[in-house]
Amino acid sequence: MIVNRIICSCYISNLIPVIFLFSFEDNPADELVAAVNSNRTGHKSSSLFANPGLGCVALEYIKAYKGQCGDVGGNMRPPNSSFTEIFAPDCGIDAKSLGPITGRLIACQTKYVKPDEAFGLLVRDARSLEILHDKGHREVGAATVGTDGGSPYFWGVLFSSGGANGSFSFEGGAPKPNRPGCYSGANDDCSAAAVRAPAGRGLLAAVSAGVLFVLAYL
Ligand SMILES: *[C@@H]1O[C@H](CO)[C@@H](O)[C@H](O)[C@H]1NC(C)=O
Ligand SMILES: *[C@@H]1O[C@H](CO)[C@@H](O)[C@H](O)[C@H]1NC(C)=O
Ligand SMILES: *[C@@H]1O[C@H](CO)[C@@H](O)[C@H](O)[C@H]1NC(C)=O
**pLDDT, one tens digit for every residue, the chain (218 residues):** 333 333 333 334 444 444 433 334 589 999 999 999 999 999 999 999 999 999 999 999 999 999 998 888 777 889 999 999 999 999 999 999 999 999 999 999 988 899 999 999 999 899 999 999 999 999 999 999 998 878 899 999 999 999 766 899 999 888 888 889 999 999 888 876 677 655 444 444 444 444 566 777 66
> C-alpha distances in angstroms, 108 versus 64, 82, 114, 157?
13, 20, 13, 12
Overall residue count recorded for the chain in this entry: 218
Q: Considering the entire predicted model, what is its pTM? A: 0.81
Our mutation pick for probing the ligand 3 site, out of 49, 165, 167, 168, counting the most ligand atoms within 8 A of Cβ, is: 165
Domains of the chain: 26-217 (3.40.33.10)
Residue ID of nearest Cα to ligand 1 atom 10: 39
pLDDT of residue 150: 83
Q: How far is the CA of 186 from the centre of ligand 3 (A)?
A: 19
pLDDT of residue 19: 41
CA–CA dist 52, 59 (Å, integer)? 11
For 154-171, give one letter per residue: b (16+ CB within 10 A) or e: bbbbbbbbbeeeebbbbe
CA–CA dist 134, 23 (Å, integer)? 36
CA–CA dist 194, 160 (Å, integer)? 26
With H, G, I as helix, E, B as strand and everything else as coil, classify residue 110.
coil
CA–CA dist 108, 216 (Å, integer)? 9
Q: Which ligand sits closest to the CA of 101? A: 2
Residue ID of nearest Cα to ligand 3 atom 8: 165
| Whether the Cβ atoms of residue 86 and residue 175 lie closer than 8 Å to each other | no
CA–CA dist 183, 143 (Å, integer)? 4
- What is the CB < 6 Å shell around ligand 2? 80, 100-101
> Which of 36, 161, 144 has its CA nearest to residue 98?
161
Alpha-carbon torsion 133, 136, 140, 143, what sign?
Answer: negative
Q: How far is the CA of 100 from the centre of ligand 2 (A)?
A: 10
